[in-house]
Amino acid sequence: MLVIHLYPDTLLPTDKILALKVEPNGYGETDSYSSKWEDRFKALPSDTLSIFVFDAQQLDTTSWTKMRDEYKILKRYDFSLRDLQRLDFTITYPPDARMLAIKSYPK
């Protein structure tokens, strides 16, 4: 499960936001994510986009308040447009060797 959010505010929002569910070894794409990445970065307040990875089952069975308050993320990646271009706009979790240079938390 991926949630896209604006950096430098790495707190999860109070209200649950749109999440893109991706199956293992799968690809996720929806109309709401289909705009060009370059355009998305132009609209950001900084040059970094945070993408959060959650356990889909936990996200479905745990309240958003608990997920947010306890920061129940599997991983947060902080991408620059250049990072995504180098990865051919493919994000993997668990991270493959190409993802090791991407800022991520927890380490």
- pLDDT value, residue 20: 73
Burial class (CB in 10 A: 0-12, 13-18, 19+), 32: exposed
pTM across the whole model: 0.78
The yes-or-no verdict on residue 83 having pLDDT over 90 is yes
- Select from 91, 84, 86, 77 the least CA-distant residue to 38: 84
SS3 of 56, please? Answer: helix
- Select from 29, 47, 43 the least CA-distant residue to 89: 29
Taking a C-beta distance cutoff of 8 angstroms, is the pair 104, 77 a contact? yes
Q: Express each pLDDT in 19-76 by its tens digit.
A: 777 777 666 664 445 457 888 888 888 888 888 888 889 988 999 999 999 999 999 9
pLDDT band of 92, cuts 50, 70, 90 = confident
- pLDDT value, residue 35: 58
Q: Which helix (H) or strand (E) holds 81?
A: helix 81-86
